[in-house]
Amino acid sequence: MPETPEQPTVNQVAKLARIHLDEQQLTSSGEKLKQILEFVSQLEQAELPKDIEPFFGAIESVNAIREDNLQTSVPREKILDNAPESDGEFYLVPPVFRNTDS
Amino acid sequence: MTLSALNADVIVDQLNAGEVTATDCVQHFLDRIQVHNAELNAFIRVSESALEQAQAIDQRRKAGESLGCLAGLPIAIKDGICVSGQPTTAGSKMLENFSPPYDATIVERLKSADAIIIGKTNMDEFAMGSSTENSFFGPTNNPWATNRVPGGSSGGSAACVAARLAPVAIGSDTGGSIRQPASFCGITGLKPTYGRVSRYGLIAFASSLDQIGPMTRTAKESALLMSVIAGFDPRDSTSSKEQVSDFLTGLETPLAGLRIGVCRDHLNEGLDVEVKTKINDAISVFKQLGANIEEIELPQTKSAIAAYYIIAPCEASSNLARYDGVRYTFRAQANDLEEMYRNTRGQGFGDEVKQRIMLGTYALSSGYYEAYYLKASKVRRMIKQDYDEAFKKVDLILGPTTPTPAFKLGQHTRDPLAMYLADIYTVSANLAGIPAISVPVEPSSTGLPIGLQLQGRAFEENTLLRAAHQFQNETLWHTASPSEPWRTQS
Amino acid sequence: MEDTVLNPTSSPQSSNRRAVRFDDTQIIIGLEVHVQLDTDSKLFCGCSTRFGEAANSQTCVVCTGMPGALPVINQRALELSIRAGLSLNCQIARSTKWDRKNYFYPDLPKGYQISQFDQPICGPGHLDIETSETTGQARRIRIERAHLEEDAGKSIHDESSRRQDSKIDLNRTGTPLLEIVTQPDIRTAAEAKAFLSELKLILNYIDVSDCNMQQGNLRCDANVNLHIPLGDEQIATPIVEIKNLNSFRAVERSITHEAQRQFEAWQEHGLTIADAPKQTRGWNDHTQTTTLQREKEDSADYRYFPDPDLIAVKIEESQIQEIESQLEQLPADLRKLLAEQYNLKSADASVIVSQGRGVVDYFLEVADGCEDSKIANNWIGQEVLRQLNESSQTIEQYPVSPQQFTDLLKLVIAGTLDQTRGKEVLNAMVADCISPEEAIEQLGIKPVDNNELVSLCEKLIDENQDVVEQIQSGNGKAIGMLIGKARKINPNANPGLVKAMLTKMISA
């Protein structure tokens, strides 16, 4: 596991990922994380040619571009149909308790 | 011969010839599902309108209308693929009641071909897993031995076809999720070349690795489905414009002169003895069929799992960020926004999903991109180059699909690493983007299916299907069915 | 945004700080401008980008980030980005790609924004500006980069009780934005405003964006700090990012306020750029002040990585050249043209150009037609613009065609119509959509023949002996009164001719 001065803790990662874990889960998750990270860190040993380009998967053939044409949007009631909470116009979410102006 | 004993291409012929109605056909499979699904839990949901659709097809046929090439054929679809107007859950509590307002592209194509979607099959949650034990809707049992896993993440589709609850099914494959369950359940599963089949409407796990593919008893049925679902889709930027040839022609072309590569390393350590034997036996069959067997090397295989278990969780951690309780998911109780996020995702996701999100989040976090994702992507390039090199010498690569037959339910749930390591033979094809197929060979002495994997050059599914088809002409392993009560009458 | 750290180490005594004058400090300003590109559909899907529609009526599975949905990039957005980049003298990337910027917010449906991290579509460039303080001397503001990304939706928070749910409208999600980042080259609030004005003008000219801050298709954040001379050293104050700016005026005022605030804060506490991280402050239009925004946790960790759902876009040299060849002339080029070839004063040229291509073309046609750009400028720059303003019309809607206007000016130039009469004719043309000839007839304008003129002048002299005496005793200006009376009697009397004749008669 690469050691850097700012190595995030399990707690911090859970916060970043917006997942609530209780004490027990944090411990268990932390252990599993450590185990897996140790395993994948074997890649550090992998000897790669200096100029090797990463491969991100997509067949890099032609630009995938579409014309600026209008398509019919999904009607509002249909798109809000799955919303856990809505007033028929907007999605409703609990308030953010922050002092921001934007 | 009863319907469920027939292959899809034969069923389609009979439907076209009027020898059987779509209504009778669908009813037959619905009855089987009714009887057997409770014990297998292959289906999350059976379609309520399947019979109605069948009746409509029969009427249209009567009226002399021209119908699609799969008219009346029942097909099961993995629940990670969007079918509009009914729940598509991805095996998760998070999407338990999510009803997509649209069809996935492949679903549109199947509907255009007049196939009948008979139900949505069970899967590991968000396609993360190799056993279908990670489903919110409970595990699926392997029809060959109900105390064993069917494999994953497309375990429901595999079990469904093996138990003939539908003649064919659609699955998805990110690190082996079609091929491994096909191997465990004794059926044929194809992962097409990346970009060959549209991902539009496939609930994303790892975008650069995911592919949709057919799960069938035979290669011929696989070719039939591919001819409907494959091809460029302008709604998917990663979709390939590569010409789609007819997958069905050329299946009968003999294998004389075909060069098949075998990687010695893959048949040595860690491989179950019986698997090794049956694979070697299969190699002999290919020799008999006229193929030339050569030794090849894939030195980067040793790094493949590590690369996969960085790339996939990283992409997944980002793909699953949209499941936040705001627009269409389960939402947990909370006083404020942050609490809502954390409770929703804490409760809505299962443990394995949460674990992989944590892993991916960590690996992408500040300062780690180069060390993990970028490094793994460079290793990925090396893996691809391994294949490029190998395919200069051979046309196909042959080996086992999995190191062992199906393991027992609960056997690996405490040890994720052990489960991950079992993906050793399948992940490389996803990393390199090449097509791969799993076909059944002789089962183990205890009657558990064993799978053989063929990997091919990008966009050369025809060669894979041809080799698999010839193998299936010569052997009968793919016709075997699990013992009673699912055995179908011949 | 990098700022050169000049001398961060020592923190001098407070009294030394108080001895420094604000006017000796340098204000360092950089701008981050988000411009909404004028496409019909969104960046990654076919939903409309039209502003002001009913909430959540312009969304689809792609822009709401539904499971399974995938993005496909909009050709026109690419083209407009390249156009904008060329107009700002930017290098255009030959290969560009998109990255995911991951963070959680309810108006960000996918939990990440598709943006560009290390291969933006436009590289370094520059924009030359002038302010009234530096007329004639262009200041070069360097552009660091411009990249193409998608917009987020809108959140409406409950301002009152804080217990009410927030409302989310996703219409705006997925709208294409070009984020333009300057180097910290701007030195005054006026320059910042000039930069934004010129940017808006350019992007209007090349049909890239309306740049209307009120409609939200131009947004701006300002990064501000001070360089303060202290003895032999130069001290830099911590950088502040100012958000929530809704107009160019707000940009200007907030910078002025913030510079002063930073100076006073520095005098008080002596904190430099090395001591404090970058701060975010929001501009409050009511109080005309900036206030500290609470820091968001983990705000900086966006976990950028290349978006695996999109592939790189290769831009050919030929494509860039074609776009460049079709690019309209830029405001700066047209100002130069008007000044050099039409002899307008640069202030006048700026006025015409700032009104848009339509007015420029109108002017050029009229100036060429009547062959007198000075008169054309006087009339168009004043009368026409005033009329357009009053009636809230565009030049395209203006009822007088360039040809008709030319005809009118020719009459004025020939002396057939004087200034005042000419304006009356123009007003009639505008009001009734008629030609100059028709207007002249409608107003009963006729040339006054010499006999009529003579009798008119004689009559005036007869009836206004007192004024005549004033004129004869040296008060030349009093003749104006007579001219006024002449016009009342006969509006067709040419003031110049009346004046000449009266003068002749009176001095005779």
**Are C130 and C197 within 8 A, CB to CB?**
no
Q: What is the pLDDT of residue A1?
A: 45
Q: What DSSP string runs through B210-269?
A: -EEEEEESSHHHHHHHHHHHBS--TT-TT---PPPPPSSTTTTS--TT-EEEEEGGGGST
Between C273 and B364, the higher pLDDT residue: B364
Q: What is the pLDDT of residue B192?
A: 98
The identity of residue C477, as a single letter, is K
Burial class from Cβ neighbours inside 10 Å (0-12, 13-18, 19+) for residue A77 reads exposed
Q: What is the pLDDT of residue A102?
A: 39
Tens of pLDDT, residues B59-73: 999 999 999 999 999
Q: What is the mean pLDDT of residues C485-492?
A: 85
- Among C104, C110, C309, select the one facing B341 at the smallest CB separation: C104
| Contact (CB<8Å) B237/C65 | no
Confidence of residue C452 (pLDDT cuts 50, 70, 90): confident
Tens of pLDDT, residues A17-57: 999 999 999 999 999 999 999 999 888 888 889 899 999 98
- What 3-state class would DSSP assign to B81? strand
Question: What domains, with CATH codes, occur in chain B?
Answer: 3-259+434-479 (3.90.1300.10)
> A88 in a domain, yes or no?
no
How many domains in chain A? 1
Tens of pLDDT, residues B363-378: 999 889 999 999 999 9
Under the phi-then-psi rule, with left for phi > 0, alpha for psi from -120 to 50, and beta for the rest, what region is C150?
A: beta
Q: What is the pLDDT of residue A99?
A: 42
No. of helices (H) and no. of strands (E), chain A? 3, 2
| Contact (CB<8Å) B359/A33 | yes
The one-character DSSP state at C398 is -
The whole-angstrom distance between C56's CA and the closest CA on chain B is: 12
Q: pLDDT at residue C453 above 90? A: no
Q: pLDDT at residue A5 above 50? A: no
- What 3-state class would DSSP assign to C259? helix
Identify the closest residue of chain A to B207 by CA–CA distance: A57
**Are C191 and C170 within 8 A, CB to CB?**
no
Residues in chain A within 8 Å Cβ distance of C50: none
Q: What is the pLDDT of residue B267?
A: 83
Q: What is the mean pLDDT of residues C279-303?
A: 81
| Contact (CB<8Å) A18/B337 | no
| Contact (CB<8Å) A100/C104 | no
Catalytic residue ranges of B: 78, 153, 177
Rounded to a whole number, what is the distance in angstroms from the first to the last CA of chain C?
Answer: 79
Alpha helices (H) along C326-418: 331-341, 346-354, 357-370, 373-378, 385-391, 402-414
What's the whole-number average pLDDT of chain B?
95
Q: What is the pLDDT of residue C175?
A: 97
| Contact (CB<8Å) B324/C67 | no
Confidence of residue C501 (pLDDT cuts 50, 70, 90): confident
Q: What is the pLDDT of residue A62?
A: 66
Question: Chain B interface residues facing chain C, Cβ-Cβ under 8 Å?
Answer: 81-82, 88, 90, 95, 98, 100-102, 104, 199-204, 206-208, 234-238, 314-315, 317-318, 320-324, 326-328, 337, 341, 361, 364-366, 369, 373
Tens of pLDDT, residues A69-92: 999 999 999 999 999 999 999 999
pLDDT < 70 positions in chain B: 269, 483-490
Q: What is the pLDDT of residue B487?
A: 59
- Omega before residue C11 within 30° of 0, cis: no
> A30 in a domain, yes or no?
yes
Q: pLDDT at residue C6 above 60? A: no
Q: What is the pLDDT of residue A58?
A: 77
The whole-angstrom distance between A96's CA and the closest CA on chain B is: 5
| Contact (CB<8Å) A69/C41 | yes
Q: What is the pLDDT of residue A97?
A: 65
Confidence of residue C149 (pLDDT cuts 50, 70, 90): very high
Listed residue (B30, A73, B377, B325) closest to C50, CA to CA:
A73
Q: What is the mean pLDDT of residues C194-201?
A: 95
- Among C67, C111, C310, select the one facing B95 at the smallest CB separation: C67
CATH code of the region C450-507:
1.10.10
Tens of pLDDT, residues C22-60: 998 999 999 999 999 999 999 999 999 999 899 999 999
Rounded to a whole number, what is the distance in angstroms from the first to the last CA of chain B?
Answer: 5
Q: What is the pLDDT of residue B92?
A: 98
- What 3-state class would DSSP assign to C429? helix
The whole-angstrom distance between A23's CA and the closest CA on chain B is: 13
- Among B240, B306, B417, select the one facing A43 at the smallest CB separation: B306
Q: pLDDT at residue A61 above 70? A: no
The whole-angstrom distance between B399's CA and the closest CA on chain A is: 23
Identify the closest residue of chain B to A97 by CA–CA distance: B336
- Among C64, C74, C296, select the one facing A79 at the smallest CB separation: C64
All structural domains of chain C with their residue ranges: 1-35+209-295, 38-182+297-327, 329-443, 450-507
For the entire predicted model, the pTM comes to 0.92
Tens of pLDDT, residues C93-140: 999 999 999 999 999 999 999 999 999 999 999 999 987 665 667 899
| Residue B444 vs residues B277, B404, B426, C355: alpha-carbon distances, Å | 10, 10, 20, 84
Tens of pLDDT, residues C316-358: 999 999 999 999 899 999 999 999 999 999 889 999 999 999 9
Q: What is the pLDDT of residue B363?
A: 95
Q: What is the pLDDT of residue B186?
A: 97
Tens of pLDDT, residues C306-323: 999 999 999 999 999 999
Q: What is the pLDDT of residue B153?
A: 97
Token pair for B311:
């790339």
> A102 in a domain, yes or no?
no
Tell me, yes or no, if B365 comes closer than 8 A to chain A by beta carbon: yes
**Are C32 and C179 within 8 A, CB to CB?**
yes
Domain span including residue A34: 7-45
